[in-house]
Amino acid sequence: MAEETFRPMRRTRQELSRAETEDILRRGRTGILAVNGDGGYPYTVPLNYVYKDGKIYFHCARAGHKFDALTRDSRVSFCVVDQDQVVPDEFATYYKSAVAFGHARLLEGEAVARAAYDLGFKYNPVPEKVRAEVRSGLPAVACFEIEIDHLTGKQAKGLLTEQN
């Protein structure tokens, strides 16, 4: 998809580099997935994910609102908030976030197992438990891959340094 499809960031001084934005995706624990839901209403849902090789992976059940929306329309947006510090005296929030736009694709075959293992190892440090969970849950799980078309990162003005 052409970058011209996406709006440029209005406050360019607050824009993070690609590397800083990808670091947010790597560090993040929870992301918010936005899809085209029922009746054309936006539907957002928090979920665990893993960022690997420039793509975002997540899992869900093979039935339900999220699964139906993703199989009906692959276009998604995905947001991760890295920092969220309210500064009452400044009537501000010091934040850093990443927003990705892309297309979600239902994985099949060995790719499902790879994504499930990557997700498991990100959130559970015990390999035996991850392997057992993936083996038992794999038949019922759906894994998706988001191919990123556009990625931006932004930080609050209050986090800018003299260099920015």
Among residues 140, 159, 129, 153, which one has the least CA distance to residue 15?
153
Q: Which domains does the chain have, with CATH numbers?
A: 10-150 (2.30.110.10)
pLDDT value at 109 more than 90? yes
pLDDT digits (tens, 9 = 90+) for 118-132: 999 999 989 999 999
pLDDT digits (tens, 9 = 90+) for 34-44: 999 999 999 99
Place of tokens 């997540």: 58
Mean pLDDT of the chain: 91
Pairwise pLDDT comparison (98 vs 4), residue with the higher score? 98
Tell me, what's the pLDDT at 2? 54
pLDDT value at 156 more than 60? yes
